[in-house]
Structure 1
Amino acid sequence: MTLPIRKRRWAPCAAVLLMLGTACDGEDAPRDEACGEPLYGGEATDEAWRTFVDAQGRPTDSSQAVTLESPVPGQTYAMDAAPPTWRWTSPLASRLPSRETPRSMLAWLGNLLLPSAQAHLPPVTGDFYWVQVTVPGRRCPVELLTSNMEWQLDAATWDVLRAAPGQDLRVQVTSAYLVQNRLREGPYRLESPRTIRVEDSR
């Protein structure tokens, strides 16, 4: 079953919040993402994904990248194979959760007076993984953001990969540790993407 995509929802600021000196989180125009959002797994949210997107311009660092257990280098799948499960391990998984920063009095009062002003999902803390699969001839990669250490591909995603038989598909995993949606450590990326193929068994 395809993992649901959760969209960010913004509520307008009320006059009382303006008097308190707070600003609407949604004042800035949303980033133009031609390819849309990824699939989400575990505790991942669109807020966490945007933290990853904002960090894309940072220098590549593979010192604490994941160890991709599956798929293995040069992995080949048969066209009629069931959707696979990809697994990895990560040094970030052993990090202890940091203490959350106390909310400001203004934020507390704002939520008390107008709870709908915080309609988006609560901030997340922990290790997260952004898996991207580049498919030749396809404008957008197939993507998943998850807090899990595996990806059980759903049927729809598997069909997209099987639509490029005999071609190199590149799997990249970016990892980071977030504290309340803020980047605390990383991002780390595989030094080079893992190349796989889907072959016609006929």
Structure 2
Amino acid sequence: MTLETRRWLWTSCAALLLALGTACDGGDDAPPDDACGEPLYAGEATDEAWRTFVDAKSRPDDSSQAVTLVSPAPGQTYSAADAPPTWRWTSPLASRLPSREPVTPADVPPSRTPARGMLAWLGNLLLPSAEAHLPPVTGDFYWVQVTVPGRQCPVELLTSNMEWQLDAATWDVLRAAADQDLRVQVTSAYLVQNRLREGPYRLASPHTIRVEVAR
């Protein structure tokens, strides 16, 4: 196959890919209007699960089945010399059994529909290194947000685990705000195939913590 032929094939496929994207997408895959970007992920959490949380931010606050944040405790103080801590919580949602409801077309995210499948196939043909969509997730998920004074965006984690072992980089961000009040909020929800089925639930009062410089 000559270079000109390969270029013609690539251009034709690219045009088809763009046309399908315009016809089938409808903007569904556009990133949420969130200037802070995505959080850290742990457990089975995915970006599509996070977008479900973001889409539900405008719902009224409900703390009826919020987590019990075991650590950090309200008013807990850390030393800046401490190793990164592990935060833990319990949740009523953790006892839920996976949904046995039949999966309907409405429960399948747009990326899993036949049209999307063809679009993804063409995309992988043209750009084999492109990241594929992760499978939709079902279960209880937790969005932990730490508000740091002087920082526009919170430090965030979305996880399916019942704990957060802070990494060194995250701990450095919190230590940089030493001797100031930090607020820890946890939003929980139960998802079925990436779709919200219970929640979101938020702590009625975020826990306030502080990192102090050793003197």
Q: TM-score range by the shorter chain?
A: 0.7 to 0.9
In structure 2, the partner of 1:92 is 93
In structure 2, the partner of 1:23 is 24
In structure 1, the partner of 2:121 is 116
Task: Calculate percent identity across the aligned residue pairs.
Answer: 75
CA contact (8 A) 2:65 2:92 kept: yes
1:145-174: CA deviation from partner (whole Å, max 9, x where unpaired): 000000000000000000111110000000
1:72 aligns with 2:73: yes
Q: CA deviation at 1:13?
A: 7.2
CA contact (8 A) 2:24 2:115 kept: no
Q: CA deviation at 1:126?
A: 0.4
SS of structure 2 residue aligned to 1:23: helix
CA distance in 2, matches of 1:199, 1:55: 35
Q: CA deviation at 1:32?
A: 3.0
TM-score by length of 1: 0.83
1:59 aligns with 2:60: yes
In structure 2, the partner of 1:174 is 187
TM-score by length of 2: 0.78
AA at the equivalent of 1:166: D
CA distance in 1, matches of 2:68, 2:86: 15
In structure 2, the partner of 1:3 is none
1:47 aligns with 2:48: yes
CA contact (8 A) 1:13 1:23 kept: no
SS of structure 1 residue aligned to 2:24: coil
In structure 2, the partner of 1:142 is 155
SS of structure 1 residue aligned to 2:64: coil
CA RMSD of aligned residues (A): 2.6
- Pairs aligned (count): 187
1:36-59: CA deviation from partner (whole Å, max 9, x where unpaired): 110000000110101101101111
In structure 1, the partner of 2:128 is none
Gaps in structure 1 of 5+ consecutive residues: 1-10
1:109-147: CA deviation from partner (whole Å, max 9, x where unpaired): 546655537931111110000000000111110000000
CA distance in 1, matches of 2:35, 2:117: 36
AA at the equivalent of 1:195: T
